[in-house]
Chains A and B, each alone.
Chain A
Amino acid sequence: MGRGKEAKTNKKLQVAFYWAASCGGCEIAVLDIDEKILDVLGLVDILFWPVAMDFKYKDVEAMKDNSIDVCFFNGAIRTEEQEHIAKLLRKKSKFLVAFGACAVSGGIPGLANVANRDEVFKVAYLDNPSTDNPKKIVPKTSVKVKEGTLALPEFYDTVKTLDQTVDVDYYLPGCPPTPDQIMTAVSAIVENKLPPKGSVIGSLKSVCDECRFEKSEKKIKQIKRVYEVEKIEDKCLLEQGIICLGPATRGGCDARCLDANMPCTGCGGPTPNSVDQGAKMISSLASILGIEGEEKMSDEEIQKLIDQIVDPVGTFYKYGLPSALINKRVIKK
């Protein structure tokens, strides 16, 4: 793993990894390519990677612009520091890849856009069964303690995706991306077989296409919660009344959740040629619920069907609220 001057003398690809508001699962996904990591290290120089190597802000600041060939960036943007670093890495990198659901579309942390900073703080620090906070204090960006002053980065009101913050060249979806997806992306880059800018490096299939269960055209009358179905049968979960985002979600994951008899929750993001994953799923669901025959149904009947969807935001936009067409709740202050 060459660094600095040493790295400039060979022709290996200069790669960087970075994590913002994320869980560390994307790093584990990279480690999960297991022994292949040794092959990858033969093809690339890792300029920095916080999980495996030591580096510093100033190293990056000191680099010439575009001196990183590819930067894999995971995590959403939630604080001023994350925003700053995203901008810095954009400047220093030829290609910036949004790696994993959080960077691509906001991911699970993006669900925080149902609330704002004050609400988040209130639940975390004030209105909480185990927190004892009689003085009602919450963290501040600058605090005087008796020995001096301590600073914290600002926590923004909303979560942003990477491409809402800086220009992004490629997208690698998934929560986390599978080792195979990661290797496909690395090979495409190493062999210089990159698709046009703005492409998603991923499967062209939907999760349904990869699912082991056969899908027929059967209609359902009722939506069921997965825990209400006493025995999940070996057939399409939608046909068992369980909301499964397979039809609206990009595959490449081998439908692994379905192998464990659980529905797809949509971590791969929208299928190719679809803009809004939730809108597509709602349309699929309407079809399977028979709502296309709506002229024959009373308003009351239609409402009854729709009411069965108890949490549309969490169900249809679990990994992509910040990138959805309607991407946050408007909170009047």
Chain B
Amino acid sequence: MKTITIDPITRLEGHGKISIFLDGKGDVENAYLQIPELRGFERFCQGRRAEDMPQITSRICGVCPVAHHFAATKALDAAFHVEPPVAAKKLRELMYMGYFIYDHILHFYYLGGPDFVVGPDAPASKRNVIGVIEKAGVEVGKEVIKHRAYGQKITAILGGKATHPVCGLPGGVSKGLNKDEVKEIEKMAKSCVEFAKFSLKLFDDIVLKNKKYVDLILSDPYQLKTYNMGLVDKNNKVNFYDGKIRVTDQKGNEYDKFDGKDYYKHISEHVEEWTYIKFTYLKAIGWKGFNDGKDSGIYRVGPLGRLNAAQGMATPLAGKEYKRFFETLGGKPVNSTLAFHWARLIELLYATERAMELVKDPEITSQKIRNPVGEPGEGVGVTEAARGTLIHHYKLTKDGLVEKANLVVATTNNAGAINMSVRDAAKGVIKKGKVDDTVLNMVEMAFRAYDPCFACATHTLPGGMPLEIKIYDSNRKLYKTLKQNI
């Protein structure tokens, strides 16, 4: 049997590593994506002060600190039995939109998008943000830098600083907005709406008008018929900051809908010996290995999971795009992993429109931003991180220290599906032991579509990832090494 190791260990820490095993004919028998990193947050959160959780857990991820910050803050609201004032919730959600604007722009232009904008078979040296700028123009490049920065600035105004904000407190936020800040945010948000529209048009022109790309999106190796999960509001529209967790099945029908606090009754995590990451699944169905279909509990989260799990977007322009998305790709649910990119841009448009709604809301300047807390107890907080459903769960002592912490992060929710996507892409493109550079990128694209925070968990990179494939013969002797971007 031959072994192929796709080893982005060049990420130095080796934050992600793919091993592909071939059978006697040289076809793929199985593939494993390993996450060789763990930092132990759930352990060292024990004994810490409850109020430190929003700032400690934001250090899980410097790409999506706001998601952890508010999942933690919401868990503290629940644990301290306090409902924040309406204005505080709006301020939190506005900051959340700033975060989504920055993060989705980062992914589309710097991380995953280059595969499409520049092209899946473009030279590796062009499959990065510079390649995107070359193709779309320097003016576009400046707009990308500007609007990514706007997202960060909105977060910084509200949160003190953008990377590792500080404003979240049980019962509210520590800082309100003044009129000058509102004006500044409105100006930036308005510009972001136009930029989101432009980005969707760019996707239209470069990807959707190119039959080759559309065929690729719809091709077999990139389809996965899993369940889908995401937070929805009371109208079952996508919501990033709050709502109920909705799960839809392979036909797009509602399978489950529950409050975040009951998460452990609905989902479980499975442990494997060969990776530090855990794999979540729907508890009622059970862990049935790395399989899709209705009999396997594996589900997907993130932009595609959210769009599939909801019944629309709550803002007008994003709502129209939502309809067009499903019409174009053959109805609900869309199972193509590569459709994550389009879904992400639709969410970017939603985030910008929602930011405009919030910043124009007269209540946004209210200084009633805190409510007094009750006795410390136990609480769960759920938000949608840019790449999927994020759950924080704390049990506090009577002194307000953390007794226990449990964190189910977006990448864990997608881990089973990512593994399957990598395996299926490998099976689809590697035949009779034939492997070349394009094949490597096709495998890489299968997981890059999910999530740049996978990048954060594993420290993979934007553009082409340096990969090494080692092929071993049946005696496990190395007979060929293929390299990409090396």
Contact = CB atoms under 8 A, between A and B. Distances in A.
A123 B42 contact: yes
Given A55-B486, A123-B43, 18 more contacts: A21-B37, A22-B62, A24-B455, A31-B148, A52-B461, A52-B462, A54-B463, A54-B465, A79-B37, A114-B44, A115-B40, A125-B271, A128-B269, A129-B406, A139-B275, A148-B21, A153-B36, A227-B51
B161 interface: yes
B210 to A, nearest CB: 25
A124 B63 CA distance: 22
A227 B169 contact: yes
Given A132-B270, A147-B29, A57 B12 contact: yes
A42 interface: no
Q: Which 8 A-B pairs have the closest CB atoms?
A: A25-B62, A260-B160, A120-B40, A147-B21, A54-B485, A23-B62, A56-B10, A108-B59
24 contacts: A24-B456, A28-B163, A34-B146, A37-B145, A50-B11, A52-B129, A53-B128, A54-B461, A54-B463, A56-B10, A85-B13, A109-B39, A109-B59, A123-B42, A123-B43, A125-B278, A137-B272, A138-B273, A139-B276, A143-B274, A147-B21, A150-B32, A226-B174, A230-B372
Given A20-B13, A52-B461, A147 B174 contact: no
A133 B270 CA distance: 6
Q: Which of B273, B393, B408 has the most CB of A within 10 A?
A: B273
Interface stretch (A7-15, A161-169, A282-290, A311-319): A311-319
A139 B128 CA distance: 34
Contacts of A226: 51, 169, 174
Contacts of B365: none
B412 to A, nearest CB: 10
A111 B57 CA distance: 12
Q: How large is the interface on A (under 10, 10 to 19, 20 to 34, 35 or more residues)?
A: 35 or more
A111 B44 contact: yes
Contacts of B263: 130
Contact of A21 (B13, B128, B485): B13
A27 B265 CA distance: 37
A188 interface: no
Contacts of A310: 49, 399-401
B219 to A, nearest CB: 25
A257 B40 contact: no
B118 interface: no
Interface of B: 1, 3, 9-14, 19, 21, 29-30, 32, 34, 36-40, 42-44, 46-52, 55-56, 58-63, 65, 76, 80, 106, 110, 124-125, 128-129, 142, 145-146, 148-149, 152, 156, 159-167, 169-171, 174-175, 263-264, 267-276, 278, 280, 283, 287, 370, 372-373, 393, 399-401, 404, 406, 408, 455-456, 459-466, 468, 476, 483, 485-486
A186 to B, nearest CB: 18
Nearest to A76: B39
B36 A145 contact: no
Nearest to A232: B174
Given A54-B466, A81-B13, A132 B163 contact: no
A19 B10 CA distance: 11
A210 interface: no
A298 interface: no
Contacts of A31: 106, 148
Nearest to B265: A130
A152 B400 contact: no
A221 interface: no
Q: Which of B38, B174, B287 has the most CB of A within 10 A?
A: B38
A227 B80 contact: yes
Contacts of A85: 12-13
B373 to A, nearest CB: 5
Contacts of A22: 62
Contacts of A232: 174
A175 interface: yes
A18 interface: yes
A176 B485 CA distance: 29
A90 interface: no
A150 to B, nearest CB: 4
Nearest to B172: A227
Contacts of A32: 149, 152, 162-163
A259 B36 contact: no
A58 interface: yes
A140 interface: yes
Nearest to A101: B59
A11 B143 CA distance: 31
A176 to B, nearest CB: 5
